[in-house]
Structure 1
Amino acid sequence: MILGIGTDLANIDRIQGTLDRFGRRFVDRVFTETEQRKADNRADTAGTYAKRWAAKEACSKALGTGLRMGISWKDMAVSNLPTGQPVMKVTGWAAERLREMTPEGHESIIHVTLTDDHPWAQAFVVIEARPLP
């Protein structure tokens, strides 16, 4: 069953402007070390950060809260499987919210997809509950 769906569209040029203006202060406040390593090793650093920004916004919407109620930016983190597929992990308040919305006898799975076409970066997040075996 679907527990939540979220989407977000981020402007890569706006993220680049924020990076130019605030630099590491912005990056350290919003992105985990894993996300920072990924973005800093890419030719399109701003695009990589923009996709992850959109994923965090989309995840917060799928959780039914938006970025309020105690969710921290770093409570939601995008990493990649060896195949390149993005995966979303939640910790802290976001993980607590996910546990609350997951029905008893089910496990929750967060699906995320990212795309970009300059100047836009987009993310979709679907939170699924599957019955435990």
Structure 2
Amino acid sequence: MMIQTGIDLIEVARIAKSMQKQRFMQHVFSPQEQEMFEKRGKNPQTVAVNFAAKEALSKALGTGIRGFALNEISLLRDEFGKPYFQLSGKILEIVQKNRYKLSVSVTHTKEYASAVVVCYGGIEP
């Protein structure tokens, strides 16, 4: 079984500034995420941690942000607050084609947001 990890750390202030641009929000975040942000009062820490998770996922897959759009990756929360990915478009095709399973963990402080993604499984060589 293949196991790969990705990690990202970002300054919340950088994302808070970018949040002021509607184009940024639409380009990076899915409609489901944007709805979640609204419900959570557009908290910059939440937005930053979602951004970090997308970056960490691209690192775990080893692709960087190529071949898919960031807004095809949604980081949502279950009823207990546990984060999970909901994928669509090209990124979903990549994950399904390679039979990957994903695990994500996120955290933030007032100043920083971080995410770790583990990509495991995959096609046996």
TM-score bracket, shorter-length normalisation: 0.7 to 0.9
Stretches of structure 1 that go unaligned for 5 or more consecutive residues are: 103-107
Q: RMSD of aligned C-alpha atoms?
A: 1.9
Report the TM-score, using the length of structure 2 for normalisation: 0.88
The alignment-based identity, stated in percent, is 32
1:55-103 CA-partner distances (Å, limit 9, x unpaired)? 00001111110111x210012111111111000122222122223333x
Structure 1 or 2, whichever has the larger Rg, is 1
Q: Provide the aligned length of Structure 1 versus Structure 2.
A: 123
Residue 82 (1) aligns with residue 79 (2):
yes
Q: Give 4+ residue runs of structure 1 displaced > 6 Å after superposition.
A: none
Distance (whole Å) between structure 1 residues aligned to residue 17 and residue 115 of structure 2: 20
Unaligned stretches of 5+ residues in structure 2: none
The amino acid that maps onto 1:127 is C
Say if 1:2 and 1:126, in contact at 8 Å, map to a contact too: no
1:6 correspondence with 2:3: no
Alignment of 1:1-40 (within 5 A): 1-20=1-20, 22=21, 24-40=22-38
Q: Distance in 2 between matches of 1:67 and 1:17?
A: 21
